[in-house]
Chains A and B, each alone.
Chain A
Amino acid sequence: DQQVKQNSPSLSVQEGRISILNCDYTNSMFDYFLWYKKYPAEGPTFLISISSIKDKNEDGRFTVFLNKSAKHLSLHIVPSQPGDSAVYFCAATTQGGSEKLVFGKGTKLTVNP
């Protein structure tokens, strides 16, 4: 029973263009969502989060959008840079972020120079 789904295993974009990574969830109890970035041989690092009381959160080149009715969130990276090439994990939790994280399978982003 996969509660957090990232249906695109990989995505390739050109440097300078927009990268859009998608995530769907099934558990309506989730109220806090996070994106993590992972480079090979390293642990995931926190990138950006959003609470269910918001529909958008922005941090520099990274913006996360939340559509609660569709149980869908997306991460936009603008402009994409080669250093953004990594695996991106979507994660969800309940009780405002104090409960355990449930991760998606990840999307491997490749940004081509």
Chain B
Amino acid sequence: EAGVAQSPRYKIIEKRQSVAFWCNPISGHATLYWYQQILGQGPKLLIQFQNNGVVDDSQLPKDRFSAERLKGVDSTLKIQPAKLEDSAVYLCASSLNGRADTQYFGPGTRLTVL
């Protein structure tokens, strides 16, 4: 079974630029999560999708971050414009049934904002 795929693995941009990350969950997983992990911190949930609907986006900075999962499969997370404090690893995870102990994480995208 293929795992959660993310691309790119690394991205370096300057502040005020835009960036997008892509995630392809495990086949058949209805629930998809985006997390932000700042260096020295634990992952923080940004947004959770159930199929193509948003379940929880309470911690998503909506003035600059957006995410979509149009067909209920893969997802894109966008930052526009980026700030220095957005430097972090962005992790995507998926789950078959939405339970915490069935989340599988991708390798993450490391974003550096200069």
Q: A43-B105, A44-B91, A93-B100 are in contact. List 20 more A-B contacts (CB 8 A).
A: A4-B42, A41-B108, A42-B107, A43-B106, A43-B108, A44-B43, A46-B101, A46-B104, A89-B43, A91-B100, A97-B100, A97-B101, A98-B98, A98-B99, A99-B100, A100-B56, A101-B43, A101-B45, A101-B100, A103-B42
| A68 close to chain B: CB less than 8 A | no
Task: Give how many B residues have a beta carbon under 8 Å from the other chain's beta carbons.
Answer: 22
Min CB–CB distance A26 → chain B (angstroms):
15
Residues of B within 8 A of A34 (CB): 100-101
Task: Give how many A residues have a beta carbon under 8 Å from the other chain's beta carbons.
Answer: 22
Q: List 17 A-B contacts (CB under 8 A).
A: A4-B42, A32-B100, A34-B100, A41-B108, A42-B108, A44-B43, A46-B102, A89-B42, A93-B100, A97-B99, A98-B98, A100-B48, A100-B100, A101-B100, A103-B42, A103-B43, A106-B42
| A45 close to chain B: CB less than 8 A | yes
- A residues neighboring B (CB under 8 Å): 4, 32, 34, 41-46, 49, 89, 91, 93, 97-101, 103-106
